[in-house]
Amino acid sequence: MQTVMQAIINIPEKHDCAMVFGHNPGLSALASYLTGENFNLGTCNAVLLNVETDTWNELSKDTCTVRNYIAP
């Protein structure tokens, strides 16, 4: 989770959205950390988050809300 989080906070500020792909348990842990909700993402699941900060480097625990959760 730390590696992905570090990559996200280093996104240049000119970008206002990002798409992250990966595997568990890291992505479930990251989604849970960022939203404060408990995620256990299964195969092909996706979660769309609203980032509630002004800059990527402000991203931390509970700074996102869930916009959509897809579990086909």
Contact (Cβ atoms closer than 8 angstroms) between residue 61 and residue 16: no
Question: Rounded CA gap, 40 and 37, in Å?
Answer: 10
Mean pLDDT, residues 38-44: 94
DSSP tag of 57:
G
- Domain ranges in the chain? 2-70
pLDDT score for 14: 96
Contact (Cβ atoms closer than 8 angstroms) between residue 32 and residue 47: no
Count of all residues that appear for the chain in the document: 72
pLDDT score for 12: 96
Give the model confidence (pLDDT) of 56-70 as tens digits: 999 999 999 999 999
